[in-house]
Structure 1
Amino acid sequence: MKKIKTIIIDDEPYSRDELTFLLKEYEDIEIIGEADSGEKGLEIVMRNEPDVVFVDIEMPQMSGLELAKALTNMKQAPLIIFATAYADYAVKAFRVQALDYLVKPFDEEQIEDVIGRIKERLHNTDFKEKEKSTAAVGKLAVEDDGRIVYIPPKDITYLFREERETIICTKDRTFRLRTPIKELEEKLRAYPFFRTHKSYLVNLDKVEELIPWFNGAFQVKVVGRKEEIPVSRNYVKALREQLEL
């Protein structure tokens, strides 16, 4: 498994330690450096070329926003995740093409959502060109009443985790299996599936509508299904980038 090289830049030692502790829960995240100022952070990033940088917005001298503007001009710019005590910085964060932002104090759910978006973005970057030239022909094997049914991934509308089962939904049927959703996500990498929520994976080719819900979250309407699928607010921007011309 390829590690996601990560750097944390924050002038507050406690915040750096807290974020480091939470990120170390993820085996594929590798923290390769830290910095306590924007100037030192820029130097470390240029020297180490990380995949993702967590940046505190409010730092003396070079602020996180100024640092982010400098990073986006790099030939291989890292993904930028802002950390801030004030949620109203979100608009400014997205103006400098940040992937997302975390509001202090950090919590595990925030981190999980952000890590999901990082993996989705890096996955799309790493595999999109490769998969254009590689015709994936495999089918997903599912046991159904003692038989093995082979489902073409293009026929899957969405899948989700419910208690200890993963439910696969096509236009006309549903199938239940024990395989974790993360394992199925890996098998479906060659196809246009997108994690809209920690428990949901949606086939982008089946999306018909994006419907506002509440607190910045949305719901997705898909072809052939009456139910609507949740989209966490932290995934909305990336989802729209994938869907819209």
Structure 2
Amino acid sequence: MNRKMKTIIIDDEPLSRDELKFLLESFNDIEIIAEADSGEKGLELIMTKEPDIVFIDIEMPQMSGLDLARAIQNMKKTPLIIFATAYPNYAAKAFRVDAVDYLLKPFDEEQLFETMTRVKERLKQEDKMDQLSPIARLAVEDEGRIVYLSPSDIVYLYREERETIICTKERRFSLKTPIKELEEKLKGYPFFRTHKSYLVNLDKIEELIPWFNGAYQLKVEGKQDEIPVSRNYVKSLRERLEL
């Protein structure tokens, strides 16, 4: 993992926040992006800034650290939680909300180093899972509504001027997202770039037809369109298609 870990500190005691910030400055891969003096402000920051890590005090007025941890459990991107508190008696409850660690004040540098080693390993594993896990649905706008397409229903995509056209067997959808960005989102599904402007679902290909100067055209399932295959992509495409 080469990126910096975005971090938020949430504690109602300014001196505790300052102490933790000072200790975290020794980690080159930590970036403290915000701090909050209450659970409510912390929740707002977590939702808007999407940190990788949050250090949370437990005993805070109104919304406690445990309440805050429970509130963020259903977020799409849940940060790793590290409780930083003066009270040892909450440890069991802390780990029920999947906390990575439980640090006691005053902070011990060696224990903090061990915690950050554990955090880095967790984030590294999550990054790997993100790369391996394909999206379940692709959201596209259709006449003011949001339609969720299954990638397996997409026959091909192509770029036309400033829009990307997504073709299913029955419909066409237009969106502004560049084809390269959609190619990234569709990783894990059998899509192949046949041309700088075309991305094709390999499972939908019916014919590969020689054209001219080493280029080819594709016939795909349920479509009359002939899709270009540039010479640069022909060899890789044949290797993917032929057993």
Partner of 1:8: 9
2:72 and 2:114 map into 1 onto residues whose CA distance is 23
Matched letter for residue 26 of structure 2: E
Partner of 2:22: 21
Give the structure with higher Rg (CA).
2
Cα deviations by residue, 1:15-45 (Å, 9 ceiling, x for unpaired): 0000000011000000000000000000111
Partner of 1:66: 67
Any stretches of 5+ residues in structure 1 without a counterpart?
Answer: 133-245
2:126 matched to 1:88?
no
How many residues matched?
133
TM-superposed CA distance for 1:89, in Å, is 1.2
2:72 and 2:58 map into 1 onto residues whose CA distance is 14
1:129 and 1:70 map into 2 onto residues whose CA distance is 23
1:102 and 1:26 map into 2 onto residues whose CA distance is 17
Q: Secondary structure at the match of 1:67?
A: helix
Matched letter for residue 124 of structure 2: H
2:115 and 2:12 map into 1 onto residues whose CA distance is 21
User: What is the alpha-carbon root mean square deviation over aligned residues?
Assistant: 1.7
1:24 and 1:72 map into 2 onto residues whose CA distance is 28
Change (3 A) 1:131 1:69: closer
TM-superposed CA distance for 1:131, in Å, is 7.1
TM-superposed CA distance for 1:96, in Å, is 1.2
Q: Matched residues, percent identical?
A: 67
Q: Secondary structure at the match of 1:61?
A: coil
Partner of 1:167: none
Q: Secondary structure at the match of 1:83?
A: strand
1:126 and 1:93 map into 2 onto residues whose CA distance is 24
Partner of 1:110: 111
Partner of 1:75: 76
Any stretches of 5+ residues in structure 2 without a counterpart?
Answer: 134-243
Matched letter for residue 72 of structure 2: L
Per the normalisation by structure 2, the TM-score is 0.53
Per the normalisation by structure 1, the TM-score is 0.52
